[in-house]
Amino acid sequence: PKPENAITIAVSSRALFRMEEEQKIYNEQGVEAYVKYQLDHENEPFLPGAAFPFVKALEAVNTQLRELYPDSEELFDIVLMTNNHAQVGVRLINSINHYGLFIERFCMTGGNSPICYLKAYHTNLYLSSDAEKVSGAIEEGIAAATIFSPSKDLEVSEEQLRVAFDGDAVLFSDESEQIVKAHGLDMFFEHEKAHENKPLAQ
């Protein structure tokens, strides 16, 4: 799909795949040892990460949309966003091919923060395991969320897309939340009753 027509979701490599061991090498031994490890293991696919089922579900929705509306380009477009170097990209691409993921666009920044690239990719949503980068994206006006690795194995559908949005400060303004914090629940209920026919701001 053309980026201007698609809903573009940028996913970090560490959200899409499990890279804890590699990150440990990077933190303890430095970038050279990290790159060498990745090159030595480039034909060994990464294990699926926390965002993997979500990406698979997006692809399942795309398949259905293509069947229902073959001429439409209003699809989900997944961009792999990583601050890795190109040498590491070979293993990422091999992993994507191994799992048959439909990801055609990559942004490999070679150590730079990916935040400045998000707008260039027309990103609608950025998912990362790095809370600092997520905060940076939000400050740039891009919807973003931190992906946490579950502490135990969870069965998540890869066929159905299920998304739960927080109402306060996500879908709607945080005015109700601010009233609770500043004045407590009693004032909140009073305020809500008085304004029940007035919609919350976006």
Looking at the fold, whether 27 and 116 belong to one and the same domain comes out as: yes
Residues 100 and 184 in one domain: no
pLDDT of residue 190: 86
The active-site residue out of 71, 166, 168, 174 is 166
Q: What is the pLDDT along the chain (202 residues), one digit of tens a residue?
A: 677 788 999 999 999 999 888 888 888 888 888 888 888 888 999 999 999 999 999 999 999 999 999 988 889 999 999 887 777 788 999 999 999 999 989 898 877 888 889 998 999 999 999 999 999 999 999 999 999 887 777 778 888 888 888 887 788 888 888 888 888 888 888 888 888 888 888 8
**Is 153 designated active site?**
no
Same domain, 196 and 139: no
What pLDDT does residue 52 have?
94
Domain that holds residue 42: 7-146
Q: What gap in Å lies between CA 57 and CA 168, rounded to an integer?
A: 26
* 158 domain residue, yes or no: no
pLDDT (0 to 100) of residue 1: 66
Q: Flag whether 77 is in a domain.
A: yes
189 and 126 part of one domain: no
Quick one: 186 and 115 in the same domain? no
Question: 95 and 46 in contact (C-beta within 8 Å)?
Answer: yes
Report the domain count for the chain: 2
Q: Are residues 126 and 195 in the same domain?
A: no
- Calpha distance 63→69 (Å, rounded): 10
Q: What is the pTM of this model?
A: 0.83
Residues 92 and 185 reside in one and the same domain: no
Residue 130 and residue 66 share a domain: yes
Burial of 176: CB neighbours in 10 Å, binned 0-12, 13-18, 19+:
middle
| 112 domain-assigned | yes
The Cα–Cα gap between 101 and 56 comes to: 7
Domain match, 195 and 95 both: no
Residue 160 domain-assigned? no
Residue-level pLDDT at 132: 93
